[in-house]
Amino acid sequence: MSGEEGEGDVVTMSYSTEGAWPGSRRLRRLAEETPPQRDRWVDLLRALAIVLVVIGHWLATVVTYDQDGFGGRHVLEVLPWAQALSWLFQVMPVFFLVGGFANAASLRSSMSQGVRWQEWLFGRADRLLRPTTAFLVMVGASAMVARALGAGPELIGRAVWLATIPLWFLAAYLPVTVLTPAMHALHRRWGLAVPVVLAILVGVGDVARLGVQLPYGSAANFLLMWLAVHQVGFAWQDGRLPTRWTAALPLAAGGAGCLVLLTAAGPYPVSMVAVPGAQVKNTSPPTIALLSLAAAQTGLVLLLRKWGNRWLQRTRPWTAVVAVNAVILTMFLWHMTAVVVVAIALYPTRIFPQPQVGTAQWLLLRLPWLAILAAVLAFLVMLFGWMEWRASPRSGRVRAEKDRSRRPAARQRADTALTIAGLAGAQAGLVGVTLAGPEFHAPAGLPAGALLAYLAGVVAMRLIQWRADRT
């Protein structure tokens, strides 16, 4: 089992804040300085999961442009045969699995150094909210500029909706992170029984919705399913989940077998991503079928762990993993904005052809489509990645958190209350934005109430930091 120290943080988070962007030599140095006990496989899985989701979203997006303006379809609406490919590209369960591993390691390391769970939570949430705030502010400002320049509200609303699609992930991941201290306490007491109970509850929710037809019967699955996967990450981190092949192989085979059975003979669709217009979707809310996919992926992850860690001892692949993880949230947040930019630049000018979806020409054009989007995303990451890249050294964070922990009890209670209020506001804002739809919301293209709630939450979090910096 890998050591705890530093395991919960991406390697590249422990650098100096000098400079706005890491050069290749600096990245190589950071890669070479990686602690020997670090489980590098976890970092690769995190990077690979996000990259696959980005590519999957890009491949699934079909942009059209005619005399009526922009339009679009989801590729799985047009090509039902491609729905099975979602089993390869739906890798968000892997991200939540390694998120549980990282959060557990980080929490245990911080607590062992005397840091209160409230301080740990503040730091963990702050790393998520900093790049997200920059993203939302830029999207809102861009929408206002576009409206001032005469762009139609319908076009702006659709562009903003498309750009903010990635926020659904944060709307799910932030509450899971917030609940980590409480759920880790349950893990220490009950171990693998906790995700088993959560999985049963997911199944109960499915029965309530699909069997009893109870409205909102499985609404809790939006949280329960991801909590279950995240909880398994705890067990992987501390060794309660066996990593030997005799346990990993049955888990992979059992999860895959259940998935085939549920989709072939059960009421669940083959697609593991939401297909517009489908009566049942495996992600909205998450179903036991998606949880079966998560089990299969977990087994595969454990099977390949030793091989992956051996391969990542090589400098080049490990440096690439370090580089991706340094800006991983920025990549995810901005990847659909790249679609908006490319669509506006290439389609009205007729530079990019529009063959019929599914034809050989259309399939071949997916390659330059991906290449152009990757180039635009690389530029966006260069512009905004510093928000994620520039972080305080880990040792400095721990010292500051321990200093805050020594403050008077009344001050600590006030900081805890502000943290909870801030996270609640940010979460409400994220949910509001993800549910807004493609309609235009004046003046910033985003629902004003949701945006204000989010910003108020972030301001509350900043107030804690401001108070800390003054003492």
Domain residue ranges of the chain, discontinuous segments joined by +: 11-470
Give the type of residue at 106: S
- Contact between 393 and 99 under an 8 Å Cβ cutoff? The reply is no
CB-based burial label for 112 (10 Å; 0-12, 13-18, 19+): exposed
Residue in 259, 331, 297 with CA at minimum distance from that of residue 93 = 297
What's the CA gap between 337 and 162, in Å, rounded? 7
Q: What is the pLDDT of residues 370-381, one digit of tens each?
A: 999 999 999 999
Which residues, including other chains, have CB under 8 Å from residue 144's CB and lie 6 or more apart? 443, 444, 445
Residue 390 has pLDDT above 80, yes or no: no
Is pTM, for the whole model, over 0.95?
A: no
- Mean per-residue pLDDT, 161-178: 96
- Mean per-residue pLDDT, 135-162: 96
- Averaged pLDDT of the chain: 89
**What are 434-440's contacts with CB under 8 Å, separation 24+?**
434/164, 434/167, 434/168, 434/171, 436/161, 436/164, 437/161, 438/157, 438/158, 438/161, 438/162, 439/157, 439/161, 440/153, 440/154, 440/156, 440/157, 440/160
Indicate the Cα dihedral angle 221, 420, 95, 207, nearest 10°.
0
Q: What is the CA radius of gyration of the chain?
A: 22
* Residue 285 preceded by cis peptide, ω within 30: yes
Residue 413 CB neighbour total at 10 angstroms: 11
Q: What is the pLDDT of residues 410-428, one digit of tens each?
A: 777 777 888 899 999 999 9
What's the CA gap between 251 and 233, in Å, rounded? 14
Residue 267 has pLDDT above 50, yes or no: yes
